[in-house]
Amino acid sequence: MSDFFLLISLPYVAMFSLITVTIYRFKSKKFSLSSLSSQFLEKDKLFWGSVPWHMGIGIIFLGHVVAFTMPKLLQALVSKTNILYILEGIGLIAAMFALGGLVVLFLRRLRNARIQAVTSNMDLIILSLLTLQILLGILVATLYRWGAAWAPSTVTPYLWSILSFRPDVSYVASMPLIIKAHIVIAWVIILFMPFSRLIHIFALPLEYITRLPQIVVWNSRRLKEEVIIAQLEAQSRRHFLKSAFGITTGLILLSIGIADKVIPFFRGPSLSAKEKEEMLKNKLEKMKATIKQKELENERLVNEYIYIADLKDLKTDEGLYFTDYSMKPALAFKDERGLPLLYSAKCTHLGCTVTNKVKNGKLLCPCHISHFDVKTGDVLDGPAPKALPTVKFILMDQSQQIVINPDKSKLNEYKVYIIKEGNT
């Protein structure tokens, strides 16, 4: 269950937040999208923090991207052990760089009062998460060696299963805790990313594409006016292009998504022989049950009386379910004298079926809690308006003769039959 939540629900929530909040922030421009550089506040530490961090994390990130997008290639590469060693070595060094840089940046934020003024709680959270994530990454790389070799066949398919909306945790479900933690924290970081200054990752390229054209303005009134008009036109054109682009991409994505679900749906499943066999078996069993049911119905139409059970098999504390003449459930007990006791099991309130277990001499209807006396069928409490009706029966002895006066000593030999309404 927690797997389900952390490895399936969380990713979707995270991606949803990433997309919507990022778009919202771009649109509203309420926040600046830069990393709110505090360069002017303290330069030296920034250099010793920022550069190693960005270099290190860049390499690490690239490694992960390759593993996710080109797993086959990576696997082919690392099948040569020396390449594997080199890659893992580079990764580890880069991780150390990133970690070192991050620690410097972190300390800077914590120690310098002026920088603290521009630091939000979210920044601290995201910094801690990043630090933790890198630590976990290093742990994974050292404790469970050669991730470059095993990740492409485990974590990559998991990630793709999420991205293609066919979530499947089985690839990673049995992994060690540390690796799972590394995955989960990755999702948490994505979740928080749009709320923090990490969003600056997206800032640069997009701004560049959609910013206004820069037009050099001469010192002439007419030209200035023309420029303004040109800018306005350009703005509205861009506006139109942007929304048209957005809508088309949206529609394309939507139709791809729908087609992706719908076409296989219509094509139907391709079942293995075993699955087919199982289904067929199940179906046959059901059919047998139906045949039995129909036979019961038929029996009730033609027979004057129907066999229910041997008297010796009935119990006082647990009823035997059977079907009465109107095809409704009924219950058979034995009373203290050893004679049968048959009730309709259809609750007189709203028709639920009462339980067959006797508790303190009572039968329960679970629907609205009515209790019936097992000796008489009377209502003891609850909303049921009437007693459970008894079902008429006869006893037959071994020679198929109807027993009028049951012989106490021969009770064990008798069989119980129910009889059609109107017969006595």
Partner 1 sequence: MKMLNTLSGFIKERFPLENMNMKSMLMKKVVPVHKLSWAYYLGGLTLLFFIIQVLTGLFLLFYYQPTVNEAYDSVKFITEKVPGGAVIRNMHTWSSSAMILCAIIHFLTTFAMKAFEKPREITWWSGVVLIFITFTFGFSGYLLPWHQLSVNATKVGLQFIGAVGQYLPGVLSELPNKLIEIIQGGPSIGQETLSRFFAIHIVILPLAILAILGVHLLSVQLHGMSKGVSRNVEKTEPFFPNFLIKDFSLWAIVFLILFILSITIPFESFFPYPLTEPYNPLGSTPDGIKPEWYFFFLYYPMELLPFWVIIVAMGVLVVGLFLVPRIFQGTKRKTLRFLSWLAFAYFVIMTVFGEAIFEMIKGVK
Site for ligand FES (CB under 6 A): which residue of 370, 372, 377, 416? 370
DSSP 111-144: H-HHHHHT--HHHHHHHHHHHHHHHHHHHHHHHS
- Between strands 415-419 and 393-396, the pairing is antiparallel
Instruction: Decide if 3 contacts 171 (C-beta within 8 A).
Output: no
Site for partner 1 (CB under 8 A): which residue of 89, 213, 361, 366? 366
Shortest CB 153 distance to partner 1, Å: 23
Instruction: Decide if 365 contacts 352 (C-beta within 8 A).
Output: yes
125-133, 190-198, 259-267, 366-374 -> range binding ligand FES (CB under 6 A): 366-374
Shortest CB 424 distance to partner 1, Å: 23
11-19, 96-104, 209-217, 348-356 -> range binding ligand FES (CB under 6 A): 348-356
Q: From residue 352, give the alpha-carbon distance in Å to each of 117, 318, 333, 344, 388.
A: 68, 18, 19, 11, 12
Q: Which is nearer to partner 1, 329 or 338 (CB)?
A: 329
Q: Which is nearer to ligand FES, 10 or 365 (CB)?
A: 365
* Partner touching 370 among partner 1, ligand FES, none, CB below 5 to 8 Å by kind: ligand FES
How far is CA 339 from its chain centroid?
A: 54
Instruction: Decide if 341 contacts 333 (C-beta within 8 A).
Output: yes
Three-class SS of 221-286:
HHHHHHHHHHHHHHHHHHHHHHHHHHHHHHHHHHHHHHHHHHHHHHHCCCCCHHHHHHHHHHHHHH
329 contacts ligand FES (rule: CB under 6 A):
no
Burial class (CB in 10 A: 0-12, 13-18, 19+), 383: middle
The SS3 call for residue 172 is coil
389 contacts ligand FES (rule: CB under 6 A):
no
Q: CA 404 to CA 401: how far, in whole Å?
A: 9
Q: Which is nearer to ligand FES, 361 or 366 (CB)?
A: 366
246 contacts partner 1 (rule: CB under 8 A):
no
* Partner touching 384 among ligand FES, partner 1, none, CB below 5 to 8 Å by kind: ligand FES
Site for ligand FES (CB under 6 A): which residue of 149, 352, 396, 419? 352
Q: CA 7 to CA 5: how far, in whole Å?
A: 6
Question: Which of the residues 162 through 181 are near partner 1 (CB under 8 A)?
Answer: 165, 167
100 contacts partner 1 (rule: CB under 8 A):
no
- Tokens 């139409």 locate to 301
List of residues contacting partner 1 (CB under 8 A): 8-9, 12, 16, 165, 167, 250, 254, 257, 260-262, 264-269, 271, 275, 279, 282-283, 286-287, 290, 293, 321-323, 326-329, 345, 349-356, 365-369, 383, 385
List of residues contacting ligand FES (CB under 6 A): 347, 349-352, 365, 367-368, 370, 382-384
